Amino acid sequence: MIDTTQRPVLLTGAAGNLGRHLARALGEKGWTLRLSDLRPFPDPLPPRASFTQADLSDAATVLRLAESCGLILHFGGASTDDYSFEQILGANLRGLYHIYEAARRERARVVFASTNHTIGFHERSEKLDDDCAFRSDSYYGLSKTYGELMGRLYFDKHGVETVAVRIGSCFPEPVDARMLATWLSYADLTRLMERCAAAERVGCCVIWGASANARTFWGRDARAALGWAPQDSADPFAGQLG
Ligand code: NAI
């Protein structure tokens, strides 16, 4: 269990869509947040939060940002395949290495914002469990596969714990038919982060980041061990989205 009020929590990607939501929601819950992003933070700072504008590819700054942190919520980086390979290289490969070196030094737990694009070339008719083969569908997805494998290396070699969340589609509401399977509500994401901090041990595990959607493509994962169960569902949107 990580004490998120006493030990700071580093949140990367804080100026992004999910980072802004988590900064607000976790700040309201009394977490001591150390926020960071390449871009300026656009919102009022939550209580007990600080913000540092930084590039994940800057090793010294990442190590300094993580000093004394018990938990790193790693949401920063190239978040779609629209980023160039060079940008992906700097943020998602080099930056990821800096995050894990920082976690090793601080003996911090990592929550890694992974993606369904690590396994995107499986057929949709297959129901996938957390131990299915990686089948990345883009350079972006491949970089997140590297991230998950980096987490495995640091757990096996150094005991650094990781929850890799293969996020489906995390938006305020589902907006197309695919999201009837893949949608993750902001509230379920927040509750997942709380469990990632509160769980006694998490080891190195994978969570399918989706709400309780009847049309889900995904099956077994480590949610029971974490004590997380999604409470929202895309199902009520089926009528309007098909
Ligand atoms: P976003 O693009 O809104 O936020 C990512 C943030 O990372 C941005 O604010 C950007 O400035 C920052 N960033 C990019 N390169 C950086 C660098 N070199 N150094 C420091 N910061 C850098 O993305 P969003 O939607 O908030 O997603 C957050 C995380 O969750 C991402 O890692 C993404 O891959 C993952 N994810 C999100 C999904 C979703 O549905 N929103 C689905 C699957 C995965």
One pLDDT digit (tens) per residue for the chain, 242 residues: 888 888 999 999 999 999 999 999 999 999 999 999 999 999 999 999 999 999 999 999 999 999 999 999 999 999 998 999 999 999 999 999 999 999 999 999 999 999 999 999 999 888 999 999 999 999 999 999 999 999 999 999 999 999 999 999 999 999 999 999 999 999 999 999 999 999 999 999 999 999 999 999 999 999 999 999 999 999 999 989 97
The CA distances from residue 195 to 109, 164, 234, in Å, are: 12, 13, 22
Annotated catalytic residue, options 83, 140, 154, 186: 140
d(CA 123, CA 214): 18
The residue contributing the CA closest to ligand 1 atom 34 is 79
CA of 42 to the centre of ligand 1 (A): 15
Which of 10, 18, 36, 56 should be mutated for ligand 1, with most atoms under 8 A from CB?
18
Instruction: Pick from 36, 74, 79, 136 the residue to mutate for probing ligand 1's pocket: most ligand atoms within 8 Å of its CB.
Output: 79
**What is the Cα–Cα distance from 156 to 153, expressed in whole angstroms?**
5
Residue 227's identity, in one-letter code, is: G
Phi, psi of 112 (to 5 degrees): -105, 120
The alpha carbon of 241 and the centre of ligand 1 are apart by a number of angstroms equal to 26
Taking CA atoms only, the protein residue closest to ligand 1 atom 33 is 79
Active site residue 140: yes
Q: How far apart are CA 3 and CA 180, in angstroms?
A: 35
What CA–CA distance (Å, rounded) separates 209 from 204?
Answer: 16
pLDDT at 101: 98
Helix (H) / strand (E) element for 204: namely: strand 204-209
Sign (positive or negative) of CA dihedral 66, 226, 161, 55: negative
Ligand 1 centroid–CA 94 distance in Å is: 15
Q: How many CA atoms lie less than 13 Å away from 241 in the CB half-sphere?
A: 16
d(C-alpha 124, C-alpha 50), whole Å = 42
Q: What is the pTM of this model?
A: 0.98
**What's the first-to-final CA gap in the chain, in angstroms?**
41
